[in-house]
């Protein structure tokens, strides 16, 4: 929650948002970089340029990448977007995912974990424009680097106030579209975490709506965690998770009210736990 408070304060000071190409995004990035350095990482910026259609001009922004030790031949990319939409401070979408990533990175460093496989924590820029940061990252990978990327674990909106513990349908058994080879394993690991902790979880489909999609299109194993946005909560979901039927999972999605008051703290704890569990599982697995 401390990370969410810090990112909320930044949005408050920078015009109410943390959108790509703005001072709010720059301040958010500096906060993330400071947190990573304090934990012993060496974050780097991956800069890229995109066309801002509203301004009819090019705009520059960047991803932030930070690596653990471990074999680069089996890189685990843990990703979530750092930017908000211009209309919102973006605390559930996606400061919640950023906070879970920062805590996973800090925990791995402070616990003395020596990963077999390199973990790359990737904080994507311009997701809200059109998944541009993650697409740029994948586009810049050589064929060899793609083959050395073992899996992408995505986290986007981890604390929806009327939310659900969604896991992407890696094997396609529910929604018909499987992820690339290896995606089934990620789905299994995430459901394993929730099962071991007696927490309900449900599959969700790959619909191209988050930063997993460039990895999926490149044939890299992918999936991850999502708590819901404008989807309507069903009566069945209420029986499993509580909350209110026939209302959005997050009524403040892309709205000014996506503030720290919009956060489901218990759900954030569950999703952050699942992210840490899956990250460590793939970091330590002999591949």
What residues are annotated to the active site? 127
Q: Nearest 5°: CA angle at 124, between 197 and 204?
A: 40
Instruction: Pull the structure tokens for residue 211.
Output: 């930063």
Strands 166-168 and 44-52: unpaired
């Amino acid at each position: 929650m401390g990370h969410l408070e810090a990112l909320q304060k930044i949005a408050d000071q920078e015009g109410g948002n943390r959108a790509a190409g703005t001072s709010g995004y720059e301040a958010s990035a500096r906060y993330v970089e400071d947190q990573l350095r304090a934990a012993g990482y060496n974050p780097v910026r991956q800069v890229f340029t995109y066309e801002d259609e509203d301004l009819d001009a090019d705009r520059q922004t960047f991803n932030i990448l930070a690596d653990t030790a471990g074999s680069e031949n089996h890189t685990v990319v843990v990703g979530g977007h750092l930017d908000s939409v211009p209309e919102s401070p973006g605390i559930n979408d996606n400061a919640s995912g950023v906070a879970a990533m920062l805590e996973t990175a800090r925990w791995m460093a402070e616990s003395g974990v020596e990963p077999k496989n390199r973990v790359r924590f990737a904080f994507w820029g311009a997701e809200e424009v059109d998944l541009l940061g993650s697409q740029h990252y994948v586009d810049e990978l050589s064929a060899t680097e793609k083959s050395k990327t073992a899996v992408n674990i995505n986290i986007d909106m981890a604390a929806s106030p009327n939310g659900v513990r969604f896991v992407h349908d890696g094997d396609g058994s529910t929604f018909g579209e499987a992820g690339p080879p290896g995606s089934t394993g990620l789905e299994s690991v995430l459901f394993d975490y929730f099962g071991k902790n007696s927490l309900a979880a449900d599959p969700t489909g790959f619909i191209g709506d988050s930063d997993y999609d460039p990895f999926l299109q490149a044939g890299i194993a992918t999936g991850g965690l999502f708590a819901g946005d404008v989807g309507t909560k069903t009566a069945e979901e209420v029986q499993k998770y509580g909350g209110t039927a026939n209302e959005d999972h997050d009524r403040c999605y892309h709205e000014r009210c996506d503030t720290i008051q919009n956060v489901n703290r218990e759900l954030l704890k569950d999703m952050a736990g699942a992210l840490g569990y899956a990250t460590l599982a793939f970091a330590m697995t002999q591949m």
